[in-house]
Structure 1
Amino acid sequence: MIVEGTILRGRAFEPIEGRVVVENGEIAAVEEDSVDSDAIVCPAFVNAHTHIGDSIAKEAGEGLTLEELVAPPDGLKHRLLREADREELVAAMVRSLSFMKRSGTGTFVEFREGGVEGVRAIRAALADSPLQSVVLGRETTDAMEIADGFGASGANDAEFQQERRATRDARKLFGIHAGEVDSSDINPALDLDPDFLVHMVHAESLHFERVEDSEIPVAVCPRSNLVTGVGRPPVEELMKRTTVALGTDNVFLNSPSMFREMEFTAKLYDISARDVLRMATVNGAELAGLDCGLVEEGRPARLLVLDGDSDNLAGAKNAIRAVVRRAGADDVEQVILP
């Protein structure tokens, strides 16, 4: 397979005119050349934090607090998840996964409620999907054993030491929510030496220092934090100290669109479009220990091809800014996920 256009190459997303040569699901070559194509070729997105099971209850719970919405075990989403039958749950997740693929996401990191059955349900939803998933079980170590690791709710909910030992012994991922509502659970979360943290809205100076010293990456979800009213994650401060990736969080509250997350982040913070695109691609891949997220030789050919001559993108003078701040699902020409 050969894909031509303006290619956002490598970690710098250097825009070059040319072609990407794909062989056996891998990028065999990135060739700079004059080509007759308006396409923009970039890595497929990596959504670093999702709760896809929430697809059964989109936009439910208007006016509720974050705790009333999502706190285990009796927050609204947990009650709705318990009440849903498996067929309904899987069908709703299939619809969200389809949208994610159509809007350029190639990989996602899922915190999957429901214990063992929750993990099995999302595996069923993924059966016919080309999306690459990192599914982290929750609630029981049994869920972790059949998943790709464990996704903890927060250090104020439980100690999670047993789950951390289990993931370490199994060489699987351990992620944990921290600093979403306040700062009280950040130090206990850091004490667990997690593979990554989620949110860190209320991080303070000591926490920044600990994150930098331990080199723990952070997945941030600015749209979710805004809609739940908990505040704004200190993205600029975190970026000075560690790898920061973007996630869309609960489908309950937000569409799982990385285009929307990138645009919101780029316009809310004083950071470059290039940095935001890294947050939406290679940073999420590295947070999860994966090799995707860049267009360069030897990488998996997980690519997003945009129509640079669409009504929305035609005339754009800066390809990176166009992808991050302007593009949307309607501009997607092709998503290549071998």
Structure 2
Amino acid sequence: MVVEDGTIAAVEETSEADSTDLILPAFVNAHTHLGDSIAKEAGAGLTLDELVAPPDGLKHRLLRAASDEELTAAMERSLRYMQQGGTGAFIEFREGGVPGVRALSRAVEGLDIESVVFGRESIAAMEESDGFGASGARDSEFGREREATRKAGKLFAIHAGERDAADIDPALSLAPDMLVHMVYAESDHLARLETTQTPVVVCPRSNLVTGVGLPPVRKLLDHTSVALGTDNVMLNSPSMFREMEFVSKLTEVSAREILRMATIAGADAVGLNCGLIEEGRDARLLILDGGTDNLAGARNPVRAVVRRAGVSDVKEVIM
């Protein structure tokens, strides 16, 4: 692989390679709530609404109580952990309006990780960021925010189908650029997804922890592009290794498809030029040492990456 000025210039065969390294695109974590880094493992035993529903779910109360310095420092820690684990880009639903967006900007400073940020709670937060991230059509109809986002030429994403199917059609009617969760997607919703080719982000570990069930990943993949996210740091570590393994061992989706969900699917959903090893793509790469005690002897490298690899196998992250 030839890299010039941060771009993959060529990928060529060679007969001289004797390395056990595994080279893959750096991960794209397609759904995060990094502000939750101030409240890891808080709220055990609470329902989904009690945990995260705006405006008074536990996470929102904790966010309001945190100082700007505490919030920024906590997010920076999570970002460093993500980068160490091979995440090269992430898509964030950022609470806290304009101040929340600016806090994340400060947390990212000095880190070589690419961000796509959806502001929440106000049109001003959208204007300060890369788009608007709606909580869900059960909380508001979001028509005004959708129109403002469209006029600004920015992205609009929305949670849908996390608790039940009732908010999926209203969400689809907003013509979003991306849907998150879709645990309760039914056949008519799948048909609409296929017609509109609206990308979906699934977060299965989060859905299991909150007790809402697991998304129909196989059915979603059969109808549209599906990316992978880790969701609330409050509930799960932002590790794409853990998310991939979880999906692989609980669904009938192939390891190769899951690796695409963790890389190119998220990149394509928001127009990033990474997530794939090919000429012209940004060289955001993850190199694993295939000779570690954990990976040595693996017969199928893709399955090994998806089901077995972890941070201890990371040799280098190239951003």
What percentage of residue pairs aligned between the two structures are identical? 68
- For 1:278, the equivalent position in structure 2 comes to 260
Shift, 1:145, TM fit: 0.3
Name the residue aligned to 1:316: 298
2:6 is aligned to: 25
Q: What is the distance in 1 between the residues matched to 2:286 and 2:312?
A: 13
3-state SS of paired residue (1:60): coil
1:81 is matched with 63
Instruction: Give the letter for the 2:197 counterpart.
Output: E
Query: Which residue of structure 2 aligns with residue 211 of structure 1?
Result: 193
Count of aligned pairs between the two proteins: 318
Task: Compute the TM-score of the two structures, normalised by the length of structure 1.
Answer: 0.93
Residue 122 of structure 1 corresponds to 104
Q: Report the Cα distance in structure 1 between the residues aligned to 2:187 and 2:23, rounded to whole angstroms.
A: 39
> Do structure 1's residue 61 and structure 2's residue 46 form an aligned pair?
no
Asked whether 1:171 is paired with 2:164, we answer no
Q: CA deviation at 1:49?
A: 0.3
> Equivalents in 1 of 2:280, 2:169: separation in Å?
39
Counterpart amino acid of residue 103 in structure 1? G
Question: Are 1:162 and 2:144 matched, yes or no?
Answer: yes
Partner of 1:145: 127
Distance 1:302 1:291 in 2: 9
SS of residue in 1 equivalent to 2:99? helix
Q: Mapping of 1:132-281 within 5 angstroms? A: 132-281=114-263
Provide the rounded CA distance (Å) in 2 between the counterparts of 1:154 and 1:64: 20
Partner of 1:292: 274
- Name the amino acid aligned to 1:21: V
What does the per-residue CA deviation read over 1:192-226, in whole Å, with 9 as the maximum and x for residues that have no partner? 00001000001111111111111101000000000
How far, CA to CA, are the matches of 1:129 and 1:159 in structure 2?
36
Whole-Å separation in 1 of the counterparts to 2:102 and 2:255: 37
Amino acid aligned to 1:87: E
Q: Please, what TM-score do these two structures have when normalized by structure 2?
A: 0.99
Equivalent residue letter for 2:206: S
Deviation at 1:52, TM superposition (A): 0.5
Distance in 2 (CA, whole Å) between partners of 1:271 and 1:84 is 40
Q: Which amino acid aligns with 2:273?
A: D
CA distance in 1, matches of 2:176, 2:230: 20
CA–CA separation in structure 1 for the residues paired with 2:13 and 2:208: 42
Structure 2: distance between partners of 1:90 and 1:312 = 34
Structure 2 distance, partners of 1:83, 1:199, is 28
SS, match of residue 11 in structure 2: strand
**Secondary structure class of the residue paired with 1:82:** helix
Tell me which residue corresponds to 1:45: 27
In structure 2, give the amino acid aligned to 1:75.
Answer: G
CA distance in 1 between counterparts of 2:13 and 2:233 reads: 39
Structure 1's consecutive aligned runs of 4 or more residues displaced over 6 angstroms after TM superposition are none
Residue 12 of structure 2 aligns with an amino acid whose one-letter code is E
1:22-69 CA-to-partner distances (Å, cap 9, x unmatched) read: 110000111111312110000000000000110000000000000000
The residue aligned with 2:95 is 113
* Partner in structure 2 of residue 327 of structure 1: 309
The C-alpha deviation readout for 1:140-185, integer Å capped at 9, x for no partner, is 0000001000000000101111111111111111000000001110
Secondary structure at 1:59 match in 2: coil
C-alpha RMSD of matched pairs (Å): 0.6
Structure 1 residues without counterparts, runs of 5 or longer: 1-19
Whole-Å Cα distance in 1 between the matches of residues 100 and 45 of structure 2? 27
1:71-111 alpha-carbon deviations (Å, 9 max, x no partner): 00000000000000000000000100000000010000000
| Paired AA for residue 231 in structure 2 | D
The CA distance in 2 between the partners of 1:37 and 1:185, in whole Å, is: 50
Cα-to-partner distance string for 1:256-286 (whole Å, 9 max, x where unaligned): 0000000000111101100000000000101
| Residues in 2 aligned to 1:222 and 1:125: alpha-carbon distance in whole angstroms | 26
CA distance in 2, matches of 1:79, 1:291: 37
